[in-house]
Structure 1
């Protein structure tokens, strides 16, 4: 034990004596991660003279606090590597330089910008999977995981052919250096010196692909927007991380789906889990084993005093397997929804290319769901790299689907870039009532549409940056068409008015796969469907489904007048017409009375209610007065405008530590979007759940119509598009 190690032991820091960058540890690191986590959140590695942060909470604490844990003179685990990268990458800078450069680097890699290339990526992914299905047996790493990065991403980066051919070698070498300068690291230095020389001599403006990432940076340098001395580092940052991390995560995703066929079946049955599956693969595989930070101010981490100047290794992979954060952390679970993993990092230095990586992986999954029935894998080999955890080879067998699914359309700026979308065509349009039309949609390519459950809705892209949600109101047994019913609202902000103006037969649009936040409990002894106005739309699908499975139900439909009631003729002719009762405000003698209806229902009946806020309030308050069990009352609001009035307050973005003033006339979402945050959003009115954001501290003033009463009472989430704060400060996990 060194003298320094003795000092560490006296200070109470657990010591874990391991050759972290040895072949043995690289081949099987997980028992070592577990052993270090068991010792404590901070351990000392004497062979590296570094501290290591092992647990999730402390890893996030380090990554959030760049003023204490600096990236300057850091990232590699030894001083020689730190000296080599000094000034050669934006990753080894801190604000203000880091922020100025990152803004320029990140612009073409944000979700909105990626939309322009997403269709090409998805077509290429579909073609690739089609070829691999025909081959049946192949190497998952060489033939699948590497394909999109090596073909499309190298083109996106825009190097000349001689540069593209070397990108994989350059990337692997850079990640060897970010470990230590063992034999792999020393060879990496030789290779990267060649890359740097190539950039200076060969990456001239006339040889870079016009419109590419590197050509854009070269143009900005020549225009004086980026200092010349930063050019080499930015080029390096585009070239080296663009491949290996995505290849690693894609290989992990393929391996886990093959090992866990029940998870693949879940994904096939519900493609909305694609984003979860991608995140879960990144969490479980953790492409980057660790990076280091340099302690620049005295600091206690988990009670451990860290000396100024010491290096702290942030063990991303260990944190992502911490059972203090993730239940059953070694299990691959596509329903987990662990978006807060640290596989892409965390804080201001979070992976700049994460959206592109997730887009590539999601595109492959869409193509696989459409074409692959079964995935089988054999045991992989592990590639030896100081920093990247990845398979070297992965034997895979694909068994083709007998019938193809259509799950292959680009996403858009107003929704997460990696959601699953479908390209559809309007085949019919009908006026159903005053200011209400229905439109029927079919696949643009003539294939069956994904199945949907009663109560489901789809996101409809009316135009770029404008997405609205509409319930599916046809029989769920249909696979040929979807039908939507749309009320033209007098206060329309372009959504419903755009549908009424532009969606005629022959028009093509994009919609999401169906999602269901208003599911039907088919096991209930009976169901009451209560619709007010345009709230009839989800009830139509529910009525068709309940009739098909022979479950007792009654549909009660209230409207201001017959002229404003949609689908009346269809309901009169429906096979369940005897179960339908209609009520009109301008007619007598019978008016809608929730109390009378609820009192006559048998025990155990589930109530489903959709319509204007006043209608829903009447039904839910009546049910409460009658002591109706809350878990048997289900509601869905079809519209809501955010109420912006209220006292100003402050929002803290925890990942960067930045504070933002929220005035009384703006939403949290508006302020954060103006500041450059990419907050997924869609409805801007609190009804779609797209923008739900975790709350770390403070008490939200909930104004959405999505979170349950229990979720609102817990104050752990907020719909940032409409809700505000009851406390002077609200800390959000963004």
Structure 2
């Protein structure tokens, strides 16, 4: 039975999962922000928050706005999940903390420092090759190729079958949406991708020195159970790839559209991390997530009953003029601390350190190897119920 708003809320009827919205979400995101701090989306019978203050508040209060009932439109209290819930994304403390502690150790800042030299070398070699070629597809040749050249090896995956990784991650994020064509098509194609990923998450199929083996080793010490270990490897595969691919794609798209930003990056390559971080804020590869209220709560004057879905527009919050100065400007020297592109609070994206490292070393290599990045054709959008990214990005790279 569809819920109705118990209080008077501003109401909007647009579909945030429609292809036309995905193609140009900014007008509707502005309408959401200006309509009020909490808005009723009549199409799906859910409340929505799009201003930075409310999105940040919901993300930070897991006790009131839980993830364990699903971070998509489906409510796990009344609907069966399409697969076993994620131990980090779709659980709450204390269960969440136990699993997350393992992942945070496996992909800690210390581990990232150990990986850095190898990633720098691989990024430099790849960019040198592509700059010599001049005309490339920024998504296929860079945004996808680089993470796929370093991340599966770090996890300890076999080489055969890695083509299943991107479709599986896309499937997981599509499944957070409603029962629309994107979700149905993704689930219809799911079987081979799910089967391969499930099999590779088993201990015996992982290299002994990779992230996956380290996660399984946590079962030996009792931090997690043997049954939980493959689910946690699966969570890492989902968190560590698609957000990185779309984040790098966003940064490349920004560099091609805003040549002054790339010129500034060339002058000061140390801005590479900031340039990537600003691209995450500016483009928000992860557009939305849901939470469910565990009790009646008042949020910015709106009383929300227990058991209600809240749709958070992370992308709209990342361009909220109440919080950001000139939010629609891509500024690689902006102080981006506090953006919600990787989420916030206890459920903040567990793959963010990997994404940041990969994005930084690639942009640094581009700043050294290329004197100019230009669009060579019209980019093609990749449509997903949760993610914003590109399927193709024709670029021309001019050697430095």
TM-score range, shorter chain: over 0.9
Alpha carbons of 1:355 and 1:325: their partners in 2 closer, same or farther (altered >3 Å)? same
Alpha carbons of 1:76 and 1:297: their partners in 2 closer, same or farther (altered >3 Å)? same
Structural RMSD (CA): 1.9
Do the aligned residues in 2 keep the contact of 1:64 with 1:346 (CA within 8 Å)? yes
Do the aligned residues in 1 keep the contact of 2:216 with 2:226 (CA within 8 Å)? no
Equivalent residue, structure 1, for 2:46: 50
Alpha carbons of 1:201 and 1:259: their partners in 2 closer, same or farther (altered >3 Å)? closer
User: How far off is 1:204 after superposition?
Assistant: 3.8
Secondary structure of the residue aligned to 1:90 is coil
Alpha carbons of 1:352 and 1:203: their partners in 2 closer, same or farther (altered >3 Å)? closer
Equivalent residue, structure 1, for 2:238: 240
Equivalent residue, structure 1, for 2:30: 34
Alpha carbons of 1:356 and 1:187: their partners in 2 closer, same or farther (altered >3 Å)? same
Equivalent residue, structure 2, for 1:394: 393
Structure 2 spans left out of the alignment, 5+ residues: none
Larger-Rg structure: 1
- TM-score, with structure 2 as normaliser: 0.94
Higher relative contact order (CA 8 A, sep 6+): 2
User: How far off is 1:85 after superposition?
Assistant: 4.9
Judging by fraction of residues, say which structure has more helix.
Answer: 2
Equivalent residue, structure 1, for 2:19: 23
User: How far off is 1:257 after superposition?
Assistant: 1.2
Cα separation, 1, equivalents of 2:52 and 2:19: 25
Deviations 1:62-94 (A, max 9, x none): 111100000111201133777335534421111
Equivalent residue, structure 1, for 2:342: 344
Equivalent of 1:211, from 209, 212, 217? 209
Do the aligned residues in 1 keep the contact of 2:284 with 2:341 (CA within 8 Å)? yes
Cα separation, 1, equivalents of 2:83 and 2:58: 21
Deviations 1:137-170 (A, max 9, x none): 1111111111121111111122223442210111
Cα separation, 2, equivalents of 1:215 and 1:74: 28
User: How far off is 1:224 after superposition?
Assistant: 3.5
- TM-score, with structure 1 as normaliser: 0.52
Alpha carbons of 1:196 and 1:79: their partners in 2 closer, same or farther (altered >3 Å)? same
Cα separation, 2, equivalents of 1:202 and 1:342: 31
Cα separation, 2, equivalents of 1:106 and 1:63: 19
Cα separation, 2, equivalents of 1:256 and 1:228: 43
Cα separation, 2, equivalents of 1:99 and 1:366: 34
Deviations 1:422-468 (A, max 9, x none): xxxxxxxxxxxxxxxxxxxxxxxxxxxxxxxxxxxxxxxxxxxxxxx
Q: Does 1:309 align with 2:307?
A: yes
Do the aligned residues in 2 keep the contact of 1:88 with 1:230 (CA within 8 Å)? no
Secondary structure of the residue aligned to 2:67 is strand
Cα separation, 1, equivalents of 2:119 and 2:239: 19
Do the aligned residues in 2 keep the contact of 1:54 with 1:314 (CA within 8 Å)? yes
Q: Mean alpha-carbon deviation: is it higher for 66-75 or for 266-275? A: 266-275
Cα separation, 1, equivalents of 2:300 and 2:20: 30
Secondary structure of the residue aligned to 1:314 is strand
Structure 1 spans left out of the alignment, 5+ residues: 402-734
Deviations 1:252-273 (A, max 9, x none): 1111111111111211112232
User: How far off is 1:381 after superposition?
Assistant: 1.3
Count of residues paired in the alignment: 397
User: How far off is 1:188 after superposition?
Assistant: 3.1
Cα separation, 2, equivalents of 1:352 and 1:272: 24
Equivalent of 1:330, from 328, 331, 343? 328
